[in-house]
Structure 1
Amino acid sequence: MVGLKPSDIPPTPAVKFLGAGTAACIADLFTFPLDTAKVRLQIQGESTGSVAANGIRYKGVFGTMSTIVKTEGAKSLYNGLVAGLQRQMSFASIRIGLYDTVKLFYTNGKEKAGIGSRILAGCTTGALAVTIAQPTDVVKVRFQAQANLRGVKRRYNGTMDAYRTIAKKEGIRGLWKGTFPNVTRNAIVNCTELVTYDLIKENLLHYKLMTDNLPCHFLSAFGAGFCTTVIASPVDVVKTRYMNSPPGQYKSALNCAWTMITKEGPTAFYKGFVPSFLRLGSWNVVMFVSYEQLKRAMMMSKERMEYAV
């Protein structure tokens, strides 16, 4: 390994796994307020909830953030952050960190992967990650939807209280509420996000338009974020509403989607699109740039340790 550049050394699965989870947490710290605004806009229009009961209306991503700060305080923009970080360490580590490994499995070890193998790998790691991390996502969404208003009883007092309360009142199934739309959403998101990033970066390098550095990672991540938002928004809105709903409001995720389209029209599926793109686009940029740098840093550290030995 001596004499090789960090970019020449293939990262191990463990490096990718740890790097992906850490990078996703960094991205969440930067973009969480945008995600909270997205959730509030997505659930707007439901007749239940403390926000609806108090007649608060949200307009636009920055208007929503401003309203939250004025009515609830700046800390409310980070409601559910603990569950969000728990989610990323268990979720992103699998769906992003294991993507290359699963892709190699589908290509029987061949480095050159076709579009079909990439899509299969994205679906597999996305679905597996959701199945494991679903409870953290349920708690995160409910905290983000919870308004901290005077005179309104808080739904949960803390992250662990939320896990316990949901399990007690709704059963263990309550912690996996919305798994089907979430698996669907994240299979779509993972495929679009990772495959698009993969393809954009690969072509930029193949045609020598850019070198494997920060601008290349930035452009690839930005393109992946936009494509993912356009394709995944409808499923994301249904997932958010269904996961946040009290028992009995919707019979299933499909019933939630049907209720939305009959009561609010097709545009309901793209509620919160701008914050979704701002959040997903910026999240992709921070995450992929951090991920690429973390991989290199960890491989350099590993190389120094092996050289010292």
Structure 2
Amino acid sequence: MVAADLAPSAAVKVFSAGAAACVAELATFPLDTAKVRLQIQGESRTSLEGQRAKYRGVVGTIFTMVKTEGPGSVYNGLVAGLHRQMTFASVRIGLYDTLKQFYSGGSETVGLASRLLAGCTTGAMAVAFAQPTDVVKVRFQAQVHLPESTSVARYSSTIDAYKTIARDEGFKGLWKGCLPNITRNAIVNCSELVTYDIIKELLLQSKLMTDTMPCHFTAGFAAGFCTTIVASPVDVVKTRFMNSVPGQYSSATKCAVTMLMREGPTAFYKGFMPSFLRLGSWNIVMFVSYEQIKRTVKEFQHQFPT
């Protein structure tokens, strides 16, 4: 039996997904930070009263942050981001194939319904594990701390953020925005994993590509594009709600209504370009890394069987 014939176990997929997601996070985190800054821009009344927008475009946002806050500002929240990927991606991506087979009853032909159910299930499960890490990541990315300023940053460290949120907002503060996040991740997971799954399958079945890096790159890019289109509105609401101070919004729905009334429908697509650049590049790096890590582990298993 050759290494390629060895089907990776669920444990291998969970490990590979977490590791690949961390690689993708490191590569694309500045784009995510720019996306968050653009999404929350317009929250305050001052920015709605004719004041010139501070951040303009992806490159402009990153340049402004580096210039005013220092180069490290684009990696604010990276530790929490890595915490998130190690827990979140491991579950939602690593367990997808297992649940897909479960919903299809082990059939060799897996229908769209089984894929969508698997994506929704693993997305919801992942939020249950990783929500506090997502809250802390968003808070750090939104936090502006000027080098010459004497003001104290909202949080001094990742651990301090976890402790401060739990102390000031209660245990439920760490799960703030959980419902919109479940909604978002059900959408993201279905768009991302199902699109990748189907595109890759079609490319292989049509023999346009083999199961190699170009195929993984193409399917990953398609997954990122589709995901950005359908998930951006929920993502903006999630970011605004998670970053809000206690009492600013009574619910995620109230947050969405407030955005619509104050800023109009286009507010739901704020930060669209960095979202696309982020999700497109993140999906490419993640899926290419995921496939390579899985293959490496399979080869290791073949060389050193238990």
TM-score, with structure 2 as normaliser: 0.96
1:32 to 29, 34, 41: 29
Q: Percent identity?
A: 67
What residue is the counterpart of 1:277 in the other structure?
276
One-letter code of the match for 2:221? Answer: F
Q: Does 1:22 align with 2:22?
A: no
What do the CA deviations read for 1:272-300 (whole angstroms, capped 9, x no partner)? 00000000000000000000000000010
> What is the total number of aligned residue pairs between the two structures?
302
Query: What's the secondary structure of 1:157's corresponding residue?
Result: coil
Question: Could you tell me how far 1:220 is from its partner in structure 2?
Answer: 0.2
Distance in 1 (CA, whole Å) between partners of 2:86 and 2:108 is 27
Give CA deviations for 1:50-77 in whole Å, capped at 9, x if unaligned: xx9x987000001000000000001010
Instruction: Point out the more displaced range, 107-116 or 73-82.
Output: 107-116
Query: Are residue 172 (structure 1) and residue 171 (structure 2) matched?
Result: yes
Identify the match of residue 130 of structure 1 among 110, 127, 132.
127
In structure 1, what residue type is equivalent to 2:267?
A
1:162-201 correspondence to structure 2 within 5 Å: 162-201=161-200
Aligned counterparts, 1:115-264, within 5 A? 115-149=112-146, 150-264=149-263
Quote the Cα distance in structure 2 between the aligned partners of 1:120 and 1:48. 41
Q: How far does residue 86 in structure 1 lie from its aligned partner after superposition?
A: 0.3
Counterpart amino acid of residue 188 in structure 1: I
String of CA shifts for 1:12-66, please: whole Å, max 9, x gaps.
10110000000000000000000000000000001179xx9x9870000010000
Separation of aligned partners in 2, 1:177 and 1:188: 19
Shift of residue 9, structure 1, vs aligned partner: 1.9
**CA deviation string 1:169-227 (max 9, x = no partner):** 00000000000000000000000000000000000000111000000000000000000
- Tell me which of 86, 90, 94 is aligned to 1:93: 90
Distance 1:212 1:48 in 2: 52
Q: Deviations over 1:68-110 (max 9, x none)?
A: 0000001010000000000000000000000000111101111
Letter aligned with residue 152 of structure 1 = S
Query: Residue 76 of structure 1 aligns with which residue?
Result: 73
SS of 2:304's equivalent in the other structure is helix
